Amino acid sequence: MRRLALLAALALSRLAHADPLPAHAAGVADYSIRVRLDVRAKTLAGAEHVTWRNPASEPVAELWFHLYLNAFKNSESTFFRESGGQLRGDRMPDEGWGFVDVKSLRTKDGVDLAPAGRFEQPDDGNTSDRTVWRVPLPAPVPPGGTLEFDLEWNAQLPRVFARTGYFRDYFLVGQWFPKLAVYEPEGLRGRSLGGWNCHQFHANSEFYADFGRYHVEITLPKDYVVGATGSRSARRENPDGTATHVFERSDVIDFAWTASPHFVEVRQRFSGQNDVSEQEYAETAALLGRSRGEVQLSDVDIILLLQPEHLAQRERHLRAAKAAIKWFGLWYGRYPYPAITIVDPAFGAGGSGGMEYPTFITAGTSVLLNQWPLEGVLAPEEVVIHEFGHQYWQSMVATNEFEESWLDEGFNSYSTGRVREKVYGPWLIQALGLRLGGIELSRMQNSVERMFDKIRTPAWEYSSSSNYGFNSYARTELTLRTLEALLGPETLARAMRTYHERYRFRHPSSDDFYAVVSEVAGRDLSGFFAQTTERPGILDDEVSSVASDEAAEPQGVFGEGDKRKIVTKGEATAKEKQAAGRRPWHTTVMVRRRGEVVLPTSLRLDYEGGASQTLPLLEAVPAKGAVEGTPLASGATTAGEPWRGRFKRIELTGPHRLVSATIDPDDRLLIDVNRLNNSRRAEPDPRAANRLGTRLVFWLQQLVALAGL
């Protein structure tokens, strides 16, 4: 019934709107910024005019800002304390602090509100942290009302080590201007009361902001090549030897830019006509159950700003960018902006690589990847596809990266892997005879050590930096692949498409995603998420023992009265043997759950002579109520009942001797932390080499977990 009603509603909405992809965001915060870069002092002087619309149904009497360059102000910032001055393998240089100072904040009537502003520390109470700034307003902004104000500020850029800053004459300017936080109205992301959502700058977190229109004028020496969010609408030269570059973009949540005199600018156009075959359009439309028109892609200008020493990798970058524009567009909905800018960071500024901003991403490569033996390592491709993917998961579907990082990094890891496999095949790394796929790399990071965190956790509250990374990226990827295997690829593809369409230019939460998946699958899947993302624990199903013996021969007293007869051992069965040609075998298999996650699985039994059979152990995902808060019951489940407890003994009698038993034989549960124990043979395995290989993978898993990769 529910499904029918839904289908009817969908059909009706399809009639009303031929294209379910929204064309524009409901703009909340518009910025017009003039900024001047002093390339010697590494400072910015900024003036910014902001228009903010109150999206809520209540008046709002204060503004909250991100002043994120203050994360680099001194050793007492929350970012510095959490990171210890290093991030993603890069160290904070000894000199290279950065900060931002707001000089004034004036409303239309000229009153300066800045002196009343206060720094807040909503996450950790660290009063030395200066990354969140709250400004009370003299009069509240009414529901739906608009407030305009002007800010003047100065900033010192940090030396690049964590995403933003300078290195010599290279600049990657992100999180650089005073930016409004997100005012979340009641109901948004499950809020019971409207309010500002504003977090401090953390080591293990990215960002959250609202949609709006940006007009940014950047002035700097005229020999600098500049790239930025949006498209350049003008460039004018000034009498003082500088040039002013004007960039504009609407429907975006942030703005970043780069400048260097050394960039080699390469341009190429992705064509919705020529870069996608008619067959690929048709296959995508069929996969998603959409019309041909709905999956049509538009043209996109690719602006690649390469370091001169990486020119040999020009085509590799462009091919990856086109692949990403194509497959993200086909699967989730066309890329709506006219351009994407890809920045290749300067040598020494690797900390600014691999980062995403709207229509503007940073890649990352090395001259070592120009040639043998490392040309088969798809690192630059992976970074370009991944960072482009953030246009979908986080930029357009603008999730809160502080509180639900899995919705951006994890969704993007899943999508990146799918695009890479589609275009480049299964191997992420091929070098010197070694081959490794992306999904193997993700699985190698999984282990029993991962039982302590749950996926849906605020980014700064994971037990360790390694667990922030594992849960936000690899574990989410493995979880979505597991879900895909349980639902079928078509159902998950349709759910992801629907989720993207419905929340493009909006701010969904995890619960919104759960609801879409259940809706598209036509069944309640909250029990899946309750176990895999909402609580800690691991999945580790195993075959713990296997025995297959000749059934004991009947002996003793049989029959009544005159027919009573004593059968001694061997006597009756000898006759049976003659009649049947062979004797029956008695097989016992014990399966156990070493983890807490209970998902549908089956057991394959392989017999001598080549026969095999597959027994379902559990066919449906348990309901949320059946798993929430309840520890896994100990004890066996009775034969024939779905397997929900810790262990189950399976006993069978048949004509053949069992050779081996394998749980999850199709390898659908990719979140299983240990595949080594999924299969067991009834006698010592003569193919020892094979087992040795599996054991090697197991030890590799442990090593990777120890190294915290």
Q: Between 467 and 674, name the residue whose CB sits nearer to Zn ion.
A: 467
Let me know how many helices (H) and strands (E) the chain has, helices first.
15, 35
120 or 382: CB nearest Zn ion:
382
149 vs 411, beta carbon nearer Zn ion: 411
Interface segment toward Zn ion; rule CB under 5 A; list 192-200, 402-410, 638-646, 683-691 = 402-410
CB of 248 to Zn ion, least distance (A): 26
Q: Indicate the pairing of strand 132-141 with strand 60-66.
A: antiparallel
Cα separations (Å) of 498 from 287, 422, 533?
Answer: 13, 21, 20
Output the 3-class SS for 543-593: EEEEEEEECCCCCEEECCHHHCEEECCCHHHHHHHHHHCCCCEEEEEEEEE
| Cβ atoms 672, 600 nearer than 8 A | no
Output the smallest distance, CB 389 to Zn ion, in A.
8
User: Measured from the CB of residue 703, what is the shortest distance to Zn ion in angstroms?
Assistant: 25
Q: CB of 448: closest distance to Zn ion in angstroms?
A: 26
Binding map of Zn ion across residues 203-232, x = CB under 5 A, - = no contact: ------------------------------
Taking the C-alpha atoms of 620, 621, 623 and 629 in order, what is their torsion angle to the nearest 10 degrees? 140
Alpha helices in 212-267 (DSSP H): none
Report the nearest approach of Zn ion to the CB of residue 386 (Å). 6
Distance set, CA 140 to CA 53, 146, 298, 427 (Å): 12, 10, 42, 57
Q: How far is the CB of 411 from Zn ion (least distance, A)?
A: 10
Nearer to Zn ion, 54 or 471 (CB): 471
Helix, strand, coil shares, percent, the chain, to 5: 30, 30, 40
Q: Which is nearer to Zn ion, 217 or 401 (CB)?
A: 401
Residue nearest to Zn ion (CB): 409
Whether the upstream peptide bond of residue 631 has omega within 30° of 0, thus cis, is no
Q: Considering the complex, state which of residue 123 and residue 387 has its C-beta at the smaller distance from Zn ion.
A: 387
Run of H or E including 11 = helix 2-16
Nearer to Zn ion, 31 or 393 (CB): 393
Question: Which residues, in sequence order, are CB contacts of 275 under 8 Å at separation 6+?
Answer: 322, 325, 326
Q: Which is nearer to Zn ion, 217 or 409 (CB)?
A: 409
Residue with smaller CB distance to Zn ion, 210 or 409: 409
Of the listed pieces 188-196, 211-219, 223-231, 409-417, which binds Zn ion according to CB under 5 A?
A: 409-417
**How crowded is residue 402: how many other Cβ atoms within 10 Å of its Cβ?**
21
Nearer to Zn ion, 183 or 393 (CB): 393
Helix (H, G, I), strand (E, B) or coil at 278: helix
Q: Where are the beta strands (DSSP E) in 117-222?
A: 118-120, 132-141, 146-156, 165-167, 170-173, 179-180, 182-184, 195-197, 212-221
Least separation in angstroms between residue 482's CB and Zn ion is 21
Binding to Zn ion (CB under 5 A) within 89-118 occurs at: none
CA distances from 685 to 124, 214, 249 (A): 55, 66, 64
**Could you tell me which of 474, 462, 406 has the C-alpha nearest to residue 709?**
474
Closest CB to Zn ion among residues 386, 681? 386
For Zn ion, which stretch binds (CB under 5 A), given 73-81, 327-335, 407-415, 643-651? Answer: 407-415
Closest separation in Å from C-beta 390 to Zn ion: 6
Q: Which is nearer to Zn ion, 409 or 512 (CB)?
A: 409
Given a contact cutoff of 8 angstroms between Cβ atoms, the answer to whether 370 and 352 are in contact is no
- Cα-to-chain-centroid distance, residue 447: 19
The amino acid occupying position 377 is V
d(CA 112, CA 115): 7
Q: How far is the CB of 88 from Zn ion (least distance, A)?
A: 11
User: Smaller CB distance to Zn ion: residue 405 or 510?
Assistant: 405
- In this structure, what token pair is assigned to residue 609? 């002579």
Beta strand pairing call for 647-654 and 195-197? unpaired
Binding-site size, Zn ion (CB under 5 A): 1
CA distance 310 to 120: 43
> Interacting stretch for Zn ion, rule CB under 5 A, among 213-221, 235-243, 403-411, 620-628?
403-411
Of 406-414, 547-555, 670-678, 699-707, the window that binds Zn ion (rule: CB under 5 A) is 406-414
Q: From the CB of 412, what's the least distance to Zn ion, in Å? A: 5
Q: Which range, of 263-271, 377-385, 404-412, 624-632, touches Zn ion by CB under 5 A? A: 404-412
Q: Specify the residue, 247 or 327, whose C-beta has the smaller distance to Zn ion.
A: 327
Q: Candidates 9-17, 59-67, 401-409, 622-630 — which segment interacts with Zn ion by CB under 5 A? A: 401-409
Q: Name 457's Cβ contacts closer than 8 Å, sequence gap at least 6.
A: 471
Least distance (Å) between residue 122 CB and Zn ion: 24
Rounded CA-CA distance 163/97 in Å is 14
- CB nearer to Zn ion: pick between 401 and 541: 401
Closest distance of CB 705 from Zn ion, Å? 21
**Contact region for Zn ion (CB under 5 A) — 155-163, 211-219, 405-413, 676-684?**
405-413
Minimum CB separation from Zn ion for residue 163, in Å?
A: 11
**In the complex, what is the shortest distance from the CB of residue 408 to Zn ion, in angstroms, rounded to a whole number?**
7
Query: Do the Cβ atoms of 320 and 327 come closer than 8 Å?
Result: no
Least spacing, CB of residue 401 vs Zn ion, in Å: 9
In whole angstroms, give the CA distance from residue 607 to residue 656.
6
Q: Which stretch binds Zn ion (CB under 5 A): 113-121, 367-375, 408-416, 420-428?
A: 408-416
List of residues contacting Zn ion (CB under 5 A): 409
